Structures are given as structure tokens and as C-alpha cells.
Amino acid sequence: MTPVALTIAGSDSSGGAGIQADLKSFAALGVYGASAITALTAQNTTGVSGIHPVPAAFVTAQIDAVFSDLDVGAVKIGMVAQAETIAAIADALTRWAPRHIVLDPVMVATSGDRLLAAEAIDALRSLLFPQASLITPNLPEVAALLGEAVATSEADVERQGKRLLAMGCCAVLVKGGHGHGAESIDYLIDAERSIALSAPRIATANTHGTGCSLSSAIAAGLAKGEGMETAVRNAKAWITEAIAAADRFAVGHGHGPVHHFHKYY
């Protein structure tokens, strides 16, 4: 049967992040992608100039339409924008009970623009974290979610990851792309272990949509039946290659996109 993944996220009009990046990631990894759009954004490689949230009831309608017809193997959740949307998503996923949920707590765009209302953070933690198979925050997002300083050591990362686990999710992938040094190290943390996953840090300005694409790649692997560690390892290897190939593109004047289809052209 064809593996299917659903992305619940915002639309990026420039095509580098959000729904557009998610669908590209699914397609590049051999998974059929469906979508439920939570917000429209007016943005490009230099920043976000406008956000138009989709009514929560219509987010529900999209999710219900997909699940009532497609055999969804995994769900990726990205930009959720506001508390009403979070509640609608949580209710819908409780009803449909997908096998895997990968939650990327998108709070700030690569350009620095805020994508999640401050008052919605509590709803994200209380309503969606307990349903998540995996959450994929970067170092600044972990700090914002916990009200702490950004971690600067492996011990701090593991301690903060454990605090996030206590909020109900099954596993945490703390992304180290905002760190320093020759290696970009992510940490996969669950109740039993912490696994450091390293890759060379690539010098490029074309990193728009990196987090969206990584979380979608993990969801794609889970939809294909991979275990969590395997899905995360494969996704990290793929996104590293996509970042390394990003400079083949000349798109926009700011943070350009990664090359989702680097294996094909």
C-alpha cells in the first residue's frame, strides 16, 4: 500500500518552508503527502510580512476529510499559529488516533519573525505534547518552551530534553543547528536513553525551511514503517545532503531554500 503522511501546518508563499516544504520532503522520500493548512503567510526569503490564520473549524474540516478517506501512516504538525487552532487539531487527532505524530513546535521563522502567538504556547504544551510521538524543537525553542537559557552543554541539552519529556511526549529531538562548532549535533532523547546524532556543519545561508523539512522527513520514515531511531537517522542524513546542495539554487535575496530533490537534479 502507498505510504501516506499528513502535514498540518502553515503555507509559505515563497515555497521554501511550511506546507510546501513538507510536501516536497514527503515526495522526495517516496511518501504521498496530504495537507491541512492552518494559516496563510505572506513571506519570502527575507521575512514574513503577513499571517492570516485559517478558522479553526475549517482546519478540523480539512483533517477530517483526509482521515475519512486516506490511510494516514504519520502526521507532521508545524505552524499552528493560535490557541483555537491547537485545540481543534488536538480534538481531531484524539478522534482519529494516528499511529505517529511528529510535532515541530514552530515558534520563529528562519528570518526571525514570530509564527506562534505567545498565549498559544501553553496550549501547545498541554494539548499537543501529550499526543506527540516525537517533538523536534531547536535549541532556542527548547529554551522558550521551558523558560530557561539556551543550552550550551550536552548535559544541559539532556536535562532540558527530560523536562520536555515530562510534559507527555514520547521522545524529543533537540536540534543543534543553532549551536556552534564543526559538527551539528542533534540529541534524540526518550525515557531510556539519549543518542547524539552528528553531521558536519555546513556553511550556507540557504537554510529556509530546514526544520520543517527535517520533521517531515521523519514523519515520512515513520509512514513507511521505520522505527523512530531509524527514521530520525535517515531524515538527518537526508536533510544534511539537502542543505549541502542548497547553494545549487539561486532563489531570493535572503535565506534561500534547501534542495529537497538533490538526489534527482
Structure confidence by residue, pLDDT tens digits, 62-77: 999 999 999 999 999 9
> Does residue 114 register a pLDDT over 70?
no
Averaged pLDDT for residues 143-163: 91
Counting runs of H as helices and runs of E as strands, what totals does the chain give?
A: 8, 9
> Does residue 181 register a pLDDT over 90?
no
| 228-244 and 210-223 helices, crossing angle to 10° | 140
- How far apart CA 122 and CA 236 sit, in angstroms, is 29
Residue 43: band (very low, low, confident or very high) from pLDDT cuts 50, 70, 90: very high
Please indicate whether residue 224 or residue 199 has the higher confidence score (pLDDT): 224
Catalytic center residues: 175, 207, 209-212
C-alpha cell at 2: 502507498
Q: Which of 41-50, 104-113, 161-170 has the lowest mean pLDDT?
A: 104-113
Kindly list the structural domains of the chain, giving each domain's residue range(s) and its CATH number in brackets, ordered by start.
4-248 (3.40.1190.20)
Averaged pLDDT for residues 11-32: 97
Q: Which of 31-40, 117-126, 184-193, 244-253 has the highest mean pLDDT?
A: 31-40
